[in-house]
Amino acid sequence: MRGHARLPAAGLAAAQAADLGRRRRLGLHGRVHRSERHGWGGGGGRRALGGGPRRSALVRRGGESGAVGRHADSERRRDEPRSSGGAVRFSALVLTLDEERHIARCLSSLARAERIVVLDSGSTDGTREVAAGFERVTVAVRAFTNFADQRNFGLRESFRPGDWVLHLDADERLTPGLALEIDALDPGPDVVAYNAAPLVFLGGTPIPRASSFPVYQTRLTRVGAFEFAPFGHGQKAPEGTGALPHLTAPYEHHPFEKGFEEWRLKHERYAVREAEELLARELRAPTWDVLRDPIRRRTWLNRFIGGSAVRPWLVWSYLMFPRLGLLDGPKGWEYCRRRRLYEGMLRDRMRSHPRR
């Protein structure tokens, strides 16, 4: 079956039932909209990449400029917009930096995508070579500035206006349930994007409670509708986009597979960037629009607590008890411990920052 084929109704129902059974076993059924009611969530585990001068280049095997991959000659013409509305036939944009260990599993999960663009930030391992071995994959290289810039560049340079693109990092994987849900979408012309939530894993074990599942991010977008804005150590749709529909099935996120030391160094970089962004925001009384939007509400809470001495333990307590991370077992406890460590890094950066 091609990646864009629509399933018959009976087949879709059976696949959704199987995915629902899996979600129930993980304790996810009935919890897909908890982030609408709770203010603090997730974030511990997204990648931070090294910076550098803004430049871009396409690479070919042997180092020549050009597209990479077995089907690189099938590049679409970017000046031919696709019609809006109708069934979603999606492609994927994957960001990488030294992800040789993860990239094959990520790309294998994208078998239903029409095409895949891997935008690499200058890997020195075998990431690009592994990616180029997959069908329908194009590899490009661009120095990293921030996640929003990187995704916007990939959308502009690799896809046509109107294309639907799924955004993943190399340590994330498309689940069968989410692939089927996307495949069954029939968005109208006014729908510009969808939010999806990651199911975080630690040591191969899902930890939905400790990681505040679901924490929604804008991950399926219509090219040309908007550009991402920087947000923490990630990105978000601009505030003028309005409320976006949620997809109920999760994608997988495996942020801890490189070991504790790599996690610590990465999150020290996160803390510097997030402290600068939070301190640049003026603290105001929250409006109703802020309170009812989970992403903006989390931002306001982060700024409100700021560099408080109790920040690390406040977040740890929230994840362990109100969010029931305690029930995720030892892996959930370890996740909460790492969030406490990260919040301590963020507190220290905010308290020592000149803007404070």
Q: Are residues 238 and 101 in the same domain?
A: yes
Q: How far is CA 317 from the centre of its chain?
A: 25
Domain that holds residue 153: 56-253
- Three-state secondary structure readout of the chain: CCCCCCCCHHHHHHHHHHHHHHHHHCCCCCCCCHHHCCCCCCCCCCCCCCCCCCCEEECCCCCCCCCCCCCHHHCCCCCCCCCCCCCCCEEEEEEECCCCCCHHHHHHCCCCCCCEEEEECCCCCCHHHHHHCCCCEEEEEECCCCHHHHHHHHHHHHCCCCCEEEEEECCEECCHHHHHHHHCCCCCCCCCEEEECEEEEECCEECCCCCCCCCCEEEEEECCCCCCEEECCEEECCHHHCCCCECCCCEEECCCCCCHHHHHHHHHHHHHHHHHHHHHCCCCCCCHHHHHCHHHHHHHHHHHHCCCCCHHHHHHHHHHCCCCHHHHHHHHHHHHHHHHHHHHHHHHHHHHCCCC
Q: Are residues 148 and 172 in the same domain?
A: yes
Assigned domain for 92 exists? yes
Q: Looking at 202, 235, 253, which one is the last position of a domain?
A: 253
**Local confidence band at 74 (pLDDT 50, 70, 90 cut-offs):** very low
Q: Are residues 198 and 266 in the same domain?
A: no
Q: Are residues 99 and 209 in the same domain?
A: yes
Assigned domain for 160 exists? yes
Q: Are residues 240 and 283 in the same domain?
A: no
Q: Are residues 245 and 264 in the same domain?
A: no
Q: Are residues 287 and 342 in the same domain?
A: yes
- State the total domains in the chain: 2
Whole-number Å distance between alpha carbons of 121 and 140:
9
Degrees to nearest 5, angle at CA 103 with 161 and 44: 85
Q: Are residues 88 and 111 in the same domain?
A: yes
Degrees to nearest 5, angle at CA 245 with 243 and 248: 140
pLDDT at residue 19, rounded to an integer: 54
Q: Are residues 207 and 274 in the same domain?
A: no
Q: Greatest CA span in the chain, whole angstroms?
A: 61
Encode pLDDT of 285-317 as tens digits. Answer: 888 877 777 767 877 888 899 899 999 999 999
- Token pair 């069954």 is found at 184
Sign, CA dihedral 68-230-197-161, equals negative
Q: Are residues 179 and 123 in the same domain?
A: yes
- The answer, yes or no, to whether residue 4 has pLDDT greater than 60, is no
User: Over the Cα atoms of the chain, what is R_g?
Assistant: 20
Between 145 and 43, where is the model more confident?
Answer: 145
Encode pLDDT of 158-177 as tens digits. Answer: 999 999 999 999 999 999 99
Q: Are residues 159 and 301 in the same domain?
A: no
Burial track 274-309 (b if 16+ CB lie within 10 A, e otherwise): bbebbbeeeeeebeeebeebbbbbbbbbbbebbbee
Encode pLDDT of 305-352 as tens digits. Answer: 989 999 999 999 999 999 999 999 999 999 999 999 999 999 999 999
Are 257 and 100 a contacting pair, CB within 8 Å? no
- For residue 310, with 0-12 CB atoms within 10 Å meaning exposed, 13-18 middle and 19 or more buried, which class applies? exposed
Assigned domain for 66 exists? yes
Q: Are residues 104 and 247 in the same domain?
A: yes
Q: Looking at 221, 253, 285, which one is the last position of a domain?
A: 253
Between 76 and 167, where is the model more confident?
Answer: 167
Assigned domain for 9 exists? no
The number of beta carbons lying within 10 Å of the beta carbon of residue 79 is 7
Assigned domain for 95 exists? yes
Encode pLDDT of 95-130 as tens digits. Answer: 999 999 999 999 999 999 999 999 999 999 999 999
